[in-house]
Amino acid sequence: MSILVVGSVALDSIETPFGKVNDILGGSAVYFSTAASYFADINLVAVVGKDFPQEHTDFLASKNIDIKGLQKEEGDTFRWKGKYGFDLNEAHTLDTQLNVFEGFNPVIPDEYRDSEYVFLANIDPDLQMEVLGQVKNPRMVACDTMNFWIEKKREELKRTIEKVDILIINEAEAREFACEPNVVKAARNILSMGPKNLVVKQGEYGALMFTGSSIFSAPAYPLEDIFDPTGAGDSFAGGFIGYLANTHNLEESAIRQAVIFGSVMASFNVEDFSLNRMRNLDYNEIEHRYRKFKELSHFEDV
Amino acid sequence: MSILVVGSVALDSIETPFGKVNDILGGSAVYFSTAASYFADINLVAVVGKDFPQEHTDFLASKNIDIKGLQKEEGDTFRWKGKYGFDLNEAHTLDTQLNVFEGFNPVIPDEYRDSEYVFLANIDPDLQMEVLGQVKNPRMVACDTMNFWIEKKREELKRTIEKVDILIINEAEAREFACEPNVVKAARNILSMGPKNLVVKQGEYGALMFTGSSIFSAPAYPLEDIFDPTGAGDSFAGGFIGYLANTHNLEESAIRQAVIFGSVMASFNVEDFSLNRMRNLDYNEIEHRYRKFKELSHFEDV
């Protein structure tokens, strides 16, 4: 099964307590696609500038990522510059240059319009709606967003969320969106807006997945070396939706497993800068870490 | 099996966004004893003043709590006044009056000296050592501490920790004690000081339990109404050590179950002010919530 993803491709400059890198491959659609490529075929829709290095395009093409939808426009590629302190949970944005991303108009190639799985990465909710207008009856649509859209385009965002099956956001965003400090109440509130499932990412504390009737708590993988958290959320979404597309099963037990596969991919991603750790995984490593999650959280019945 | 606990008995005045109470029963030894009393017999050593209400003494005696070691001294009972904002993770201390607790000299009654399980609640590490000097060959000793002792009595605390089997502290304390922001590295560092197990409490995110060779991640119970977090850590310790004493099994699988029973008791405790929720539980409710933790964190193998 193939997955359509629409989001950003960026050149990131990142500083962490462990090092500093300039103009490395990044962007929500890139992290998502790379993580998801271990599970399914990916159709990527995004925009880059004329300065986008050929080696990055080649890398994406070398995975199961179809780049027909990767538009190349006059101008420079979206650039993000950020810094993390020892508390790696929060990125401090130093500079954002939208460049060609500012005028991004996602045109879904005909061949992608019957993608059964759709991931709307963190872009303007109006563009997310435009994408949904171009796809034919997908089996599952998931979306991400960020505090900027919650604050600036709350009503537009609500209209998008009404149309999606699974919303994947972080905990602070969930609280802010629902105007409710308690995460369980915030989740109930958001589910009442339309989505069947809500995944609340809690960074180094794991993730919660809410359905109308149950809650699943997924642990985080306890890493001794978290090198660079950039892209962890999109890598999570990639493993999560990748697994669902792979098994083509949307029962709760499969969605729970998908949350773990998402956590697995996020845990790999943060072990090195950029896509470095996710570039050349093999599926055995992924399954091995899945089993580690199982050991980590196992306890006997009483 | 009986458990010896040495800690504080207090009269707390607490303000949360949901209400305000004055001079209610509190203190580390009280929360611990009440939670643990559902699993084992408790021998309590603490100090109160002449003003300590008889109804509180009667309440403790009405549980399986032996109060022979509850000293009554001239002066007033220890008082703590605190406030929580909507972020219920952090207590803001408004006032502390040590009163009789300032001169607390824990004398362990003869009948308690062969307690097989010992919990040293959060008191001066020098007093914790004095307690250990008075007990005969316990099967398991666990202890708690706080940032105040980590900062003021680091060396004394290290000497205590060298002698204990299980250290139970919160995440910020673990990082501070080890001078290490990464919780996994901090845990390895602390384990190298002596304890066989370390439990790192993460508040609304659950708990991690470290042994020399493995890590267990326990979820938190997602509550819609967290009324008053006071005593959650001590209720956790009570359920945890209570279960170990009850089963008299110190294998890792039992310790993992004990972490869940600790989480169960903490989750009950925060549902109301003071001990109100824990006063009259029945064991079926406790087991029922244990099974809820199982459902909450269950996912299938691959």
Between positions 31 and 60 of A, the ones with CB within 8 A of B are: none
- What is the least distance, in Å, from the CA of B290 to any CA of chain A? 8
Amino acid A64: pLDDT = 84
For residue B217, give the nearest of A183, A225, A297 by CB distance. Answer: A297
Distance from CA of B205 to the nearest CA of A (A): 6
A283 touching B (Cβ < 8 Å): no
What is the C-alpha separation between A41 and A58, in angstroms, rounded?
16
Q: Which two tokens stand for residue B209?
A: 């339990």
Give the DSSP H/E element, type plus range, for residue A246.
helix A232-247
3-state class (DSSP) for residue B266: helix
DSSP string, A63-104: TTEEEEEEEEESSPPEEEEEEE-SSTT-EEEEEEE-GGGGG-
Residues 236-255 of B with CB under 8 A from A: 253
User: CA–CA distance from A103 to each of A25, A121, B7 (Å)?
Assistant: 20, 16, 64
Find the closest chain B residue to A205 by CA distance.
B205
- Given an 8 Å threshold on Cβ–Cβ distance, is B297 in contact with A297? yes
Residue-level pLDDT at B99: 97
- How many beta carbons lie within 10 A of that of residue A89, not counting itself? 14
Q: For every one of its 302 residues, what pLDDT tens digit does chain A have, with 9 covering 90 and above? A: 899 999 999 999 999 988 899 999 999 999 999 999 999 999 999 999 999 999 999 999 999 899 999 999 999 999 999 999 877 777 899 999 999 999 999 999 999 999 999 999 999 999 999 999 999 999 999 999 999 999 999 999 999 999 999 999 999 999 999 999 999 999 999 999 999 999 999 999 999 999 999 999 999 999 998 889 999 999 999 999 999 999 999 999 999 999 999 999 999 999 998 899 999 999 999 999 999 999 999 999 99
Quote the tokens at residue A233. Answer: 């959320």
- Answer whether A282 touches B (CB < 8 Å): no
With CA atoms as reference, report the closest residue to A208 among A242, A175, A247.
A175
Q: Considering the entire predicted model, what is its pTM?
A: 0.96
Smallest CA-to-CA distance from B45 within B4, B81, B85, B86 is with: B4
Chain B segment 153-182 residues within 8 A of A by beta carbon are: 181-182
Question: A195 to chain B, minimum CA–CA distance in Å?
Answer: 20
Q: Do B224 and A182 touch (CB under 8 A)?
A: yes
Closest chain B residue to the Cα of A284, Cα to Cα: B302
CB contact under 8 A, A224 and B185: yes
Report residue B291: phi and psi, to 5°.
-65, -30
Q: Does A191 touch chain B (CB under 8 A)?
A: no
Per-residue pLDDT of chain B (302 residues; tens, 9 = 90+): 899 999 999 999 999 988 899 999 999 999 999 999 999 999 999 999 999 999 999 999 999 899 999 999 999 999 999 999 877 777 899 999 999 999 999 999 999 999 999 999 999 999 999 999 999 999 999 999 999 999 999 999 999 999 999 999 999 999 999 999 999 999 999 999 999 999 999 999 999 999 999 999 999 999 998 889 999 999 999 999 999 999 999 999 999 999 999 999 999 999 998 899 999 999 999 999 999 999 999 999 99
B224–A287: do the CB atoms touch at under 8 Å?
A: no
How close is the nearest chain A Cα to the Cα of B188, in Å?
10
pLDDT in the model for residue A86: 77
- d(C-alpha A16, C-alpha A12), whole Å: 13
Is A224 near chain B, with CB under 8 Å? yes
DSSP B143: E
Distance (Å) from the alpha carbon of B221 to chain A's nearest alpha carbon = 9
| Domains of chain B, earliest start first | 2-297 (3.40.1190.20)
Q: How far does the CA of residue B17 sit from the closest CA of chain A (Å)?
A: 11
Provide the residue type at A245 as one letter. Answer: A
pLDDT tens per residue across span B169-211? 999 999 999 999 999 999 999 999 999 999 999 999 999 999 9
Q: What is the pLDDT of residue A39?
A: 98
Q: Identify the pLDDT of residue A297.
A: 98
Q: Residue A237 and residue B93: Cα distance in Å, rounded? A: 40
Asked if A296's CB is within 8 angstroms of B215's CB, the reply is yes
User: What is the value of ipTM here, to two decimals?
Assistant: 0.94
